[in-house]
Amino acid sequence: MSSHEQAQPTPEQEQFTLLMRGLGTRTVVYQQNVAASLGLYNNDFLSVDILREKGPITAGELSKLTGLATGSVTALIDRLEKNRYVRRQNDPNDRRKVIIVPLYENKEDVIDTYLPLHTAMVTLAASYTDEELALISQFLGKASTVLDEQIDHLSSTTRSKSSS
Amino acid sequence: MSSHEQAQPTPEQEQFTLLMRGLGTRTVVYQQNVAASLGLYNNDFLSVDILREKGPITAGELSKLTGLATGSVTALIDRLEKNRYVRRQNDPNDRRKVIIVPLYENKEDVIDTYLPLHTAMVTLAASYTDEELALISQFLGKASTVLDEQIDHLSSTTRSKSSS
DNA sequence: TGTTTATATCTCTTCTATCGAGATATTTGA
DNA sequence: TCAAATATCTCGATAGAAGAGATATAAACA
């Protein structure tokens, strides 16, 4: 094959992309089910998930990460604050900003809901050797990076769209 | 370790589950961006994705797969039919049923939107040997199966929930 | 320092996806 | 044949989200 140009995907590579899409579809459905199970709206739960990974961020950053309008994020934070998933905190360095701090106390219902998946995933992981699991984990990190790049790309191109 | 009981996840296994959650969060955000880019509502695009994988299914099956109420699915199909993503077809064997047939002609905008991700994923796949890619693909299939089971589990338990 | 511009969040209105209950049509089984 | 079950659709009510503008603070500049 050529040096860095991928001429044509092999059947194995195409199969791989199909599996990734299938996993993606299932992931979305699963996350929506988790949200419903917790009594949260989809974007509310998505925000909880983002905050879990990123830690405290400002309302504006959450707006960018979720793609929601700032007005929608204000209402979203109100709901999460009422349910004690997060609390607002003023930024002493910039008093315009509102930092959303995730609260994990009293939130074992999230853990409970995730527990069956977590258990199943650990079982799946245990079926691989250390080397295999390391390869898979390394792959997952790279796939996440790819998605981050694609999200960046898509959200920037979507902003500049004309009507059909 | 014991025969089939997983006593305690290893750090590598915990790291793996964290990576899976991170990938899941990014997947949801990405899919929402794709939907927005195509001018579709989230569940409309999710339905297109489900239909792409499953092929023609009935409105009731789509209701179950998406978790939407049947009345919502009716409106959803109306929108997708108007945009020529699908068409309704009567089931000759059971005239109550409505089969939703995905339409792929004139839908290269979906392909276009996915193209950058597809290209990036093929490039990622090409960075692995045949054996490594086979392992990863096998893993993706198993992870999808796990998610299917978890979705089943969650959607059944969510249906029987009392208020807090 | 005083003024202008930019930024961050919030408020408020409008729109519409979704739910949920009931209606309609068809099938199944007694 | 008739009742019960099933599949989809209709319709009213609710509430998440967008979008524009308001408010408060910060940064830039003279």
pLDDT for A161 equals 46
What average pLDDT does this structure show over B117-127? 98
Residue A48's CB is within 10 A of a number of other CB atoms, namely 21
Which 8-state DSSP code applies to residue A91? Answer: -
* B71 CB and strand C closer than 7 A: yes
- CB contact burial B10-19 (16+ within 10 A = b; e otherwise): beebebbbeb
Question: What is the nearest CA distance from B37 to chain A, expressed in angstroms?
Answer: 5
Query: Are the CB atoms for B110 and B48 separated by under 8 Å?
Result: yes
Q: Check pLDDT > 60 for residue B163.
A: no
CA distance B112 to B115: 5
pLDDT for B128 equals 98
Beta strands across the sheet bearing A86-90: A57-58, A98-102, A86-90
- Collapsing DSSP to helix, strand or coil, A125 comes out as helix
| Distance of C1' in C6 from CA in A63, Å | 18
- How many Å is the maximal CA-CA distance in chain B? 58
* A63 CB and strand C closer than 7 A: yes
* A71 CB and strand C closer than 7 A: yes
Query: Are the CB atoms for B26 and A144 separated by under 8 Å?
Result: yes
pLDDT for B155 equals 84
CB spacing of B53 vs A13 below 8 angstroms: no
pLDDT for B49 equals 95
Q: Check pLDDT > 50 for residue B111.
A: yes
Which contiguous run of DSSP H or E holds residue A102? strand A98-102
DSSP percent split of chain A into helix, strand, coil, nearest 5: 70, 5, 25
Q: What percentage of residues in chain B have a pLDDT greater than 70?
A: 91
User: Which residue from A minimizes the CA distance to B134?
Assistant: A12
Question: What is the nearest CA distance from A35 to chain B, expressed in angstroms?
Answer: 10
CA distance B158 to B141: 26
CA distance B3 to B6: 8
Q: Which amino acid is at B84?
A: R
State the nucleotide closest to A88 in CA–C1' terms. C9
- Of A42, A35, A13, the C-alpha closest to A114 is A35
Q: Which residues pair with A129 in a beta bridge?
A: none
Question: What is the nearest CA distance from A116 to chain B, expressed in angstroms?
Answer: 7
pLDDT for B106 equals 59
What average pLDDT does this structure show over B126-152? 97
Task: Please list every residue in chain B whose beta carbon sits closer than 8 Å to the beta carbon of residue A32.
Answer: 67
Between B7 and B147, residue with greater pLDDT:
B147
By the 10 Å C-beta count (0-12 exposed, 13-18 middle, 19+ buried), B123 is classed as middle
Model confidence at B107, in pLDDT bands (50, 70, 90)?
confident
Q: What is the DSSP string of chain B?
A: --SS---S--HHHHHHHHHHHHHHHHHHHHHHHHHHHHT--HHHHHHHHHHHHH-SEEHHHHHHHHT--HHHHHHHHHHHHHTTSEEEEE-TT-TT-EEEEE--TT-HHHHHHHHHHHHHHHHHHHTS-HHHHHHHHHHHHHHHHHHHHHHHHHHHHHHS----
| Residue found under tokens 């799946």 | A124
B135 near A CB under 8 A: yes
A69 near B CB under 8 A: no
Q: What is the pLDDT along chain A (164 residues), one digit of tens a residue?
A: 545 565 789 999 999 999 999 999 999 999 999 999 999 999 999 999 999 999 999 999 999 999 999 999 999 999 999 999 999 999 999 999 999 999 986 578 889 999 999 999 999 999 999 999 999 999 999 999 999 999 999 988 766 543 33
Q: Which candidate from B134, B139, B148 shows the least CB-CB separation from A26?
A: B148
Query: Are the CB atoms for A80 and A47 separated by under 8 Å?
Result: yes
CB spacing of B67 vs A155 below 8 angstroms: no
B35-105 CATH, one of 1.10.10.10, 3.40.50.1980, 1.10.357.10, 3.40.50.2000? 1.10.10.10
pLDDT for B157 equals 76
Which of A24-33, A86-95, B48-57, B153-162 bottoms out in mean pLDDT, i.e. has the lowest? B153-162
CA distance B41 to B118: 22
Domain ranges within chain B, ordered by starting residue? 35-105, 107-153
pLDDT for B156 equals 79
Per-residue pLDDT tens digits for B66-97 = 999 999 999 999 999 999 999 999 999 999 99
Average pLDDT along chain B = 92
Architecture of domain A31-127: Orthogonal Bundle (1.10)
Ranges of H-type helices in A69-163: 70-82, 108-126, 130-159
B37 near A CB under 8 A: yes
Residue A118's CB is within 10 A of a number of other CB atoms, namely 18
CB spacing of A149 vs B120 below 8 angstroms: yes
